[in-house]
C-alpha cells in the first residue's frame, strides 16, 4: 500500500507541468499517511527562537533533554503538517522537548539559508528550552537532505564550542554529487526517489556551488569531533551508499557510530509509523539513543 501511495504521488508530481512550486509543496505535504500528533504531545510555536520552528512537547518530557529536528524533502518543502506525526512520536518515545526547525526553503532562499537556520536553531536550543533559558543535552536529528543539514550543523556547532550531544540520521542524503554506486544498483527500487531528482536538490538549493562542497555534502568533510551518531538506512534506497560511506568515514575519524540497515522499505519509511513495523522500530531505536545522551 505504501509503494502504491508513493507511486501515485510520483505520478502526480510528474504531471505538474510547468513546475508549480505551490502545487508541488501541496502534494509533498501529503507524503505521510498519518501526520497527526502523538497522544500527549502538544505543538507550541518557538516564539523566542532565532529562526522559525515549533516545539513538540510530550507531557512527560525530561527538561534536560532536547532534540533539534532538520526535516528533508529536497530543501524545498516540509513542515509540521508533513512531519508532525513522525517527529512527535520520536519526541514522545525519547521524552525530549523537540524543536522542528522551519528553515527557509529553496528556491526562494538559496544556500546557505537552510544551513544557517539549522545551525542557529541547534546553538540556541542547547541553552534555551520552550519555557526558559536553561542548558540541556541536545541531539540534532535529520532525514534525507535534512541529514546533510544535521551533520553540517553538528560539525559547525562543535567548531563553535557549542557541541551537540548526539546526531541521528534517517535515510541520509549527504552527497549531493549523487556519486554512490547504490544510485545505479537500486535504480527503480524506490517509487519516489530518483538520481535525477536528487541531482536537482543541488541545482535548486545551491546553484553555482559544487555539489561536493563540504558543507553542502558533509560526507566530504572531516568528521572528527562529531558526537556519537546513529544512522538508519534502507538497503533498497538509491541513497543507501551515502549512509554506508558516512558510517565508514565516521569510524575512521574515531566517532562512535551505530548503524541500522532496513530491508525493502522506501526512502522515507520512517514517516509511515502507522503502517510499517520498521518505522516504529526506527523510532524506538532513535529514542533510546537520545535517552542515553
CATH (domain of 98): 3.40.50.1820
Number of domains in the chain: 1
* Position 72 confidence tier, pLDDT thresholds 50, 70, 90: very high
Q: What is the pLDDT of residue 1?
A: 86
pLDDT 10s digits, 142-197: 999 999 999 999 999 999 999 999 999 999 999 999 999 999 999 999 999 999 99
What is the DSSP code (8-state) at residue 132? S
Provide the pLDDT for residue 18. Answer: 86
Structural domain including 146 reads: 2-291
pLDDT of 91-123, one tens digit each?
A: 999 999 999 999 999 999 999 999 999 999 999
166/61 Cα distance (integer angstroms)? 18
pLDDT classification of 127: cutoffs 50, 70, 90: very high
- CA 228-82-48 angle, to 5 degrees, is 70
Q: Does residue 74 come out as left (phi exceeding 0), alpha (psi in the -120 to 50 range) or beta?
A: left
Residue located via cell numbers 500527549: 40
Amino acid at each position: 500500500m505504501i509503494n502504491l501511495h508513493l507511486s501515485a504521488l510520483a505520478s502526480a508530481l510528474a504531471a505538474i507541468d510547468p513546475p508549480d512550486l505551490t502545487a508541488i509543496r501541496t502534494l509533498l505535504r501529503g507524503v505521510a499517511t498519518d501526520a497527526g500528533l502523538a497522544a500527549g504531545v502538544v505543538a507550541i510555536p518557538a516564539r523566542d527562537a532565532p529562526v522559525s520552528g515549533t516545539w513538540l512537547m510530550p507531557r512527560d518530557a525530561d527538561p534536560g533533554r532536547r532534540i533539534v529536528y532538520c526535516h528533508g524533502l529536497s530543501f524545498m518543502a516540509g513542515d509540521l503538517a508533513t512531519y508532525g506525526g513522525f517527529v512527535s512520536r520520536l519526541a514522545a518515545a525519547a521524552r525530549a522537548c523537540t524543536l522542528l526547525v522551519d528553515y527557509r526553503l529553496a528556491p526562494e532562499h538559496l544556500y546557505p539559508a537552510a544551513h544557517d537556520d539549522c545551525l542557529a536553531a541547534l546553538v540556541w536550543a542547547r541553552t534555551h528550552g520552550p519555557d526558559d533559558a536553561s542548558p540541556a543535552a541536545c541531539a540534532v536529528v535529520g532525514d534525507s537532505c535534512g541529514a546533510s543539514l544535521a551533520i553540517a550543523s553538528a560539525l559547525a556547532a562543535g567548531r563553535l564550542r557549542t557541541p551537540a550531544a548526539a546526531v541521528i540520521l534517517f535515510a541520509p542524503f549527504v552527497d549531493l554529487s549523487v556519486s554512490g554506486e547504490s544510485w545505479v544498483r537500486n535504480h527503480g527500487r524506490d517509487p519516489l526517489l530518483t538520481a535525477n531528482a536528487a541531482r536537482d536538490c543541488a541545482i535548486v538549493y545551491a546553484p553555482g556551488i559544487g555539489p561536493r562542497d563540504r558543507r553542502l555534502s558533509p560526507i566530504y568533510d572531516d568528521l572528527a569531533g562529531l558526537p556519537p551518531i546513529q544512522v538508519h538506512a534502507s538497503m533498497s534506497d538509491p541513497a543507501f551508499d551515502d549512509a554506508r560511506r558516512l558510517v565508514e568515514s565516521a569510524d575512521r575519524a574515531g566517532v562512535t557510530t551505530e548503524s541500522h540497515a532496513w530491508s525493502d522499505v522506501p526512502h522515507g519509511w520512517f514517516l509511515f509509523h502507522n503502517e510499517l513495523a520498521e518505522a516504529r522500530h526506527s523510532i524506538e531505536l532513535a529514542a533510546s539513543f537520545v535517552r542515553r545522551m
